[in-house]
């Protein structure tokens, strides 16, 4: 029988095998729990998982409240964050993987001004030619990173991107990895890469992924 535990074990083993082949450290596995009940997150916690990803604040917040006793649990916001949801998000989110525009940066700076521990953030990169898609355009990333890094209450961890579903994901991951090398010249602390999902995490590992965002391969279809 295909169970959550079996899917998690299989995914973990695939990650470990590929990391061994590449002779690299294992990444942080973020299990994407969006569209699933809090009971699934509870089961994942019992199986040893501590990093969960959610797309929407209104879905994530009640889950975080129900699991608040698990103080070692980390909630990662991986979907586009509306500026009017930032205050709410900061009550539970350990990191934001989708810093994708100036207005969001301004709101995060405002809402974290009295924060003792800096909030981890990743700049989302737009890998397409469509400016309407979420993310900072490639040519603007380094300049935007300078502005993010200047905010003392934010900790710039690196870059986040979603590879195309229609083409070889390695092409997009290579772009992000190359951009990361430019970024760390001035921001050596910002070398993390939040890339790789259920259908392309093995390719992402080859290009230095430090955070994998895996949903269906572990959680199954809702």
**Residue 24 in this model has a pLDDT that exceeds 90:** yes
**Residue ranges per structural domain of the chain:** 4-219
Contacts 24+ apart (CB under 8 A), 75-82: 76/30, 76/51, 76/52, 76/211, 76/213, 77/53, 78/30, 78/32, 78/53, 78/54, 78/160, 78/194, 78/213, 79/34, 79/54, 79/55, 80/55, 80/134, 81/57, 82/57
pLDDT bucket at 64, cuts 50 / 70 / 90: very high
Candidate from 7-21, 42-56, 126-140 with smallest mean pLDDT: 126-140
Q: What is the pLDDT of residue 129?
A: 80
The beta-carbon contacts of 52-58 under 8 Å, at least 24 apart in sequence, are 52/76, 53/77, 53/78, 53/97, 53/213, 53/215, 54/78, 54/79, 55/79, 55/80, 57/81, 57/82, 57/85, 57/88, 57/89, 58/85
8 A C-beta contact, residue 188 and residue 6: no
pLDDT of residue 210: 98
Minimum mean pLDDT among 6-15, 42-51, 142-151, 157-166: which range? 157-166
Return the CATH architecture of domain 4-219.
Alpha-Beta Barrel (3.20)
pTM of the model: 0.96
């Amino acid at each position: 029988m295909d169970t959550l535990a079996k899917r998690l074990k299989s995914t973990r083993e695939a990650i470990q095998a590929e990391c061994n082949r590449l002779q690299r450290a294992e990444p942080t596995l973020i299990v994407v729990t969006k569209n699933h009940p809090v009971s699934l997150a509870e089961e994942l916690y019992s199986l040893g998982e501590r990093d969960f990803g959610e797309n929407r604040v209104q879905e994530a917040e009640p889950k975080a409240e129900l699991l608040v006793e698990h103080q070692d649990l980390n909630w990662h916001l991986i979907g586009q964050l509306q500026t009017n949801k930032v205050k709410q998000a900061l009550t539970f989110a350990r990191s934001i993987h989708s810093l994708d525009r100036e207005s969001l940066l301004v709101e995060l700076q405002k809402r974290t001004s009295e924060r003792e521990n800096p909030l981890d953030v990743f700049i989302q990169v737009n890998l397409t030619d469509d400016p309407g898609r979420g993310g900072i355009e490639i040519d603007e990333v380094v300049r935007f990173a300078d502005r993010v890094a200047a905010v003392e209450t934010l900790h710039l961890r690196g870059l986040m991107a979603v590879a195309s579903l229609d083409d070889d994901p390695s092409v997009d991951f290579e772009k992000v990895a190359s951009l990361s090398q430019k970024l760390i010249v001035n921001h050596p602390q910002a070398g993390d890469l939040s890339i790789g999902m259920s259908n392309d995490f093995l390719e992402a590992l080859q290009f230095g992924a430090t955070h994998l965002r895996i949903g269906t391969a572990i959680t199954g279809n809702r």
